[in-house]
Amino acid sequence: MSEAFGATSTTDDVLAGIDLSGKRILVTGVSAGLGVETARALAAHGATIVGAARDLKKAEAATATVWESATAGGSLELIELDLANLASVRRASDALVAAGKPFDVVIGNAGIMACPFWHTSDGFEMQFGTNHLGHFTFINRIAALIKDGGRVVELSSAGHRYADVDLDDPNFERTAYDPWISYGRSKTANVLFAVEFDRRHRARGIRATAVHPGGIKTELGRHAYAEEGALQRRVDEMNAELTKAGKPLLKLKSVPQGAATSVWAAVVAAGDAVGGHYCEDCHVAQVVPTAGELMGGGVFAYAVDGDHASALWARSEELVGEHFAA
């Protein structure tokens, strides 16, 4: 099935002919960009969407397109969730568990990229705390709500190539802070979380996968590319280097193209095909040598290593102060 789609496929392309009536899907980060498009596309095919966002007023305005596109049966409910605040994470997850309504799919879409050095409400370095620990805690606390045969999709990035996780110094207490190293650590953590969650829950038929959406101009780049035209200049610089090396050039995707791999991995691809893997351009990526370009296709081996994933899981439990049984 994956051979039919690629880097230029959109959400509408991969969902063509798919009926999601009766499916209940949770998507984090529905106040902008990929989260809104993911919710829109799924609701347009009949899914009931529970959208999580830190700023509900912003999310309400941003998701007007979801309601406009929703077909009969498709709908949207918003919940408040601040992934940089574990008290908020626990309130949101407790409310969902109390309601007792199951999910077919959970998509961990929200995130922050290359921000200045600061901390979450709980004292964690912001990118690792938000991108990884927030989702780690939230998804684990609602794991019992995921139906047998369900799916978890974590948004990672080719940025995982910038750095492996540092289990000894996750908060940059002894390491000089670099926004891109921090981002790389958090995106590697997203993949490793999917690998270990998949191992722990596959006995129920639940499969977890991580996806790289591609290079896209969204609010995610507000810290790294705040200046007008900064993202395109960076792409031009990278392409100049890729041209010298005889490598394929980097092309920015549209938002519907960027969200395509998320919805493909969530409801189109076979669970056994994507479970425990890293996907890009609507296919499972190959493992590539770690000593390679910082950008490009494939996933570095440290991001999909099972023992490494188990070690990160244990360290994450220590950090958030909760134990999550298989």
Task: Let me know if residue 242 belongs to a domain.
Answer: yes
Residues 6+ apart with CB under 8 A from 263: 11, 14, 15, 38, 41, 42
Task: Let me know if residue 297 belongs to a domain.
Answer: yes
Kindly report which listed range (43-47, 72-76, 316-320) carries the lowest average pLDDT score: 72-76
Residues 168-193 have a mean pLDDT of 97
Task: Let me know if residue 326 belongs to a domain.
Answer: no
Task: Let me know if residue 261 belongs to a domain.
Answer: yes
Task: Let me know if residue 224 belongs to a domain.
Answer: yes
Active-site pick, 162, 183, 225, 302: 183
Which H or E element spans position 204? none
Task: Let me know if residue 267 belongs to a domain.
Answer: yes
Specify the CATH number for the domain of residue 80: 3.40.50.720
pLDDT of residue 1: 43
pLDDT of residue 289: 79
Q: Evaluate if residue 226 carries a pLDDT over 90.
A: no
Task: Answer yes or no: 302 catalytic.
Answer: no
For the stretch 132-162, pLDDT in tens is 999 999 999 999 999 999 999 999 999 999 9
Measured from the Cβ of residue 228, the count of other Cβ atoms closer than 10 Å reads: 7
Task: Let me know if residue 193 belongs to a domain.
Answer: yes
And the tokens for 302? 């440290």
Q: How many domains does the chain have?
A: 1
pLDDT of residue 245: 62
Residues 6+ apart with CB under 8 A from 4: none
Residues 295-300 have a mean pLDDT of 83
Residues 6+ apart with CB under 8 A from 280: 158, 211, 212, 214, 261, 297, 298
Q: In whole angstroms, what is the distance from residue 259 CA to residue 109 CA?
A: 10
CB 141 within 8 A of CB 97: yes
Written as one string, the DSSP assignment of 278-304 is EEETTEEPPEE-SSS-SSSSSEEGGGS
Q: Evaluate if residue 236 carries a pLDDT over 60.
A: yes
Q: Residues for the chain: how many in total?
A: 326
pLDDT band at 5 (very low <50, low <70, confident <90, very high): very high
Helix residue ranges, H only, the chain: 11-14, 33-44, 56-62, 64-69, 86-99, 126-127, 135-141, 179-201, 230-244, 255-258, 260-263, 271-274, 306-320
Kindly report which listed range (145-149, 214-218, 225-229) carries the lowest average pLDDT score: 225-229
pLDDT band at 325 (very low <50, low <70, confident <90, very high): confident
State the residue range of the domain holding 249: 2-320
Residues 111-132 have a mean pLDDT of 96
Q: Evaluate if residue 223 carries a pLDDT over 60.
A: no
Task: Let me know if residue 325 belongs to a domain.
Answer: no
* Matching residue, tokens 């899907």: 25
Cα dihedral: 57, 62, 64, 65 (round 10): -170
Q: Evaluate if residue 218 carries a pLDDT over 60.
A: no
Written as one string, the DSSP assignment of 40-101 is HHHHHTT-EEEEEES-HHHHHHHTHHHHHH--TT-EEEEEE--TT-HHHHHHHHHHHHHHT-
pLDDT of residue 251: 77
For the stretch 10-60, pLDDT in tens is 999 999 999 999 999 999 999 999 999 999 999 999 999 999 999 999 999
pLDDT of residue 93: 98
